Amino acid sequence: MIPHNRRCVLAGVATLSLTVFTILLIWLSPVDIHAAARIPLSYVSDDYAYELEELYTNIRTGELYRSAKELAPWDIVFPDFEPSEDPESLWNEGELHDNTFLSEENAKFINDQAHSLYYGNSNSEHNDKILILSASDGKGNSEINNVLGLSMANREEYANMHGYVNYFVNISQFDLGKARPVWGKIPAILKAWEDYPDVEWVWWLDSDVIITNPYIDIYSYLLDPEALEKKITWGRPLRYRRGMMNRGKYFADAAEGNMDIEKDINFIISQDSYGLNAGSFFIKKTPWAKKILLELWKNPYFMIADTSLYEQDILQSLVLDHKSLTLRHVGFVTQRAINAYSDTSRLSGTWKPNDFVVHFAGCKARGGGGLCQNEWNKYYNLRTRVPEEFRVSEDWTYESH
């Protein structure tokens, strides 16, 4: 016979185990937010990508994201419509309907609501201070046919819709010495500021990036200090050297970094599974950006250094090895916010419907021309087009500076 005191202990252990099991079961069980909010998670805008990534955890812990200014997308209330009889009809060229139970009328309602909630006013007074920058030596370094012509037309239409400057620089004009062409992005940024003195923010985009959601207004979505503070991935690890090492964590919040978001954040970038990726970033015309970041970045010794990712490795070192000079001026945002990857990238941050852009990073290394071209064609056809009045003609060509 088991002694009384041991029976008590065993009973207590059993009770505790049952309690823990019950909590885990509840915690791990899917949360049916669809029934309560009547909107499918698969259709929620990814404007708040970080919050959406953590959505189920937040629901379980009772910390569901809320803001006095923005309405969370799962709070949208819309009329009840009958489901579509043909779910496949919801996925049309340029449309973002990946749900199997929404009627077209219902889906359109959600689209309109999402745009008004998240993408802001495209006539913002800030938009003429934003420049989209592309640059190349024109020597066909891509495996994608006419990638410059297609990407520039895509960016021109987006700029027409929102009032941004769309600007292309031929980097052959710069003396890069023995450095690779990728280093031309630094003098290209400086030239953009010189040619457009009223421009404040430059958005650098590699040539192999497609803007897939043109309804996103950059200032409302990212550059507004309040929006940016929500987008920054506070407290997340800083990846370094192709993901093999780390340099601690980013600031837990603005207070820890002693940061004024509007004044101090001059450079916005994201990380993939290997670390920083310089295919899409925002840089603000400030003394810090011009006299510290760019001056250090374009050091001639760095430009010819034997690194595997060239200017990207050097940028990563500047940001993570010299934190006292750089870190409080750099805002890290979730990758899909500004730099989602195509779905065969085998890296993090894979593109989802309604994402801002798609980047074909590493496409050439993964399989060459056939893969790159097929990937490009797929996403170029999936992109949402701007309204007719903002589109360029078929014979439109970009101007080189």
pLDDT digits (tens, 9 = 90+) for 263-293: 999 999 999 888 889 999 999 999 999 999 9
Question: What does the pLDDT read at residue 54?
Answer: 40
Q: In sequence order, what are the beta bridge partners of 350? A: 341
Q: How confident is the model at residue 370 (pLDDT cuts 50, 70, 90)?
A: confident
What percent of the chain lies above the pLDDT cut of 70?
A: 63
pLDDT over threshold 60, residue 11: no
Question: Is residue 64 domain-shared with residue 188, that is, in the same domain?
Answer: no
Task: Return the structure tokens found at 40.
Answer: 């499918």
Question: Is residue 110 domain-shared with residue 140, that is, in the same domain?
Answer: no
Give the distance between the most distant pair of CA atoms in the chain.
92
Measured in whole angstroms, the distance separating CA 288 from the mean position of its chain's CA atoms is 24
Question: Is residue 362 domain-shared with residue 296, that is, in the same domain?
Answer: yes
Are 164 and 127 within 8 A, CB to CB? yes
CATH number of 203's domain: 3.90.550.10
Q: How many domains does the chain have?
A: 2
Task: Evaluate whether residue 400 is within a structural domain.
Answer: no
Are 166 and 203 within 8 A, CB to CB? no
Within 8 A by CB and 6+ apart from 294, the residues are 186, 189, 190
Question: Is residue 114 domain-shared with residue 154, that is, in the same domain?
Answer: no
**In this structure, how many other beta carbons lie within 10 angstroms of the beta carbon of residue 255?**
8
Question: Is residue 205 domain-shared with residue 326, that is, in the same domain?
Answer: yes
Task: Evaluate whether residue 1 is within a structural domain.
Answer: no
Within 8 A by CB and 6+ apart from 368, the residues are 143
Question: Is residue 77 domain-shared with residue 218, that is, in the same domain?
Answer: no
Task: Evaluate whether residue 56 is within a structural domain.
Answer: yes
Range of the domain at 71: 35-83+97-118
Question: What does the pLDDT read at residue 88?
Answer: 35
Task: Evaluate whether residue 154 is within a structural domain.
Answer: yes
What would the pLDDT profile of 82-141 be if each residue is shown by its tens digit?
A: 333 333 333 333 333 333 334 455 555 545 544 444 444 455 678 889 999 999 987 755
For residues 180, 135, 148 and 211, what is the CA-based torsion angle, rounded to 10 degrees? Answer: 120
Question: Is residue 104 domain-shared with residue 170, that is, in the same domain?
Answer: no
Question: Is residue 71 domain-shared with residue 170, that is, in the same domain?
Answer: no
Question: What does the pLDDT read at residue 84?
Answer: 37
Question: Is residue 202 domain-shared with residue 258, that is, in the same domain?
Answer: yes
**In this structure, how many other beta carbons lie within 10 angstroms of the beta carbon of residue 265?**
23
Task: Return the structure tokens found at 397.
Answer: 């060509």
Task: Evaluate whether residue 5 is within a structural domain.
Answer: no
In total, the chain counts a number of residues equal to: 401
State how far the alpha carbon of 169 is from the alpha carbons of 76, 90, 150, 174, 370, in Å.
43, 39, 16, 10, 28
What would the pLDDT profile of 292-331 be if each residue is shown by its tens digit?
A: 998 888 887 777 776 666 788 888 888 888 888 999 999 9
The sign one gets for the Cα dihedral 323, 326, 329, 330 is negative
Question: Is residue 156 domain-shared with residue 241, that is, in the same domain?
Answer: yes
Task: Evaluate whether residue 50 is within a structural domain.
Answer: yes
Burial of 136 (0-12, 13-18, 19+ CB in 10 A): buried
Task: Evaluate whether residue 301 is within a structural domain.
Answer: yes
Task: Evaluate whether residue 292 is within a structural domain.
Answer: yes
More confident residue, 176 or 206: 206
Question: Is residue 184 domain-shared with residue 298, that is, in the same domain?
Answer: yes
Question: Is residue 373 domain-shared with residue 329, that is, in the same domain?
Answer: yes
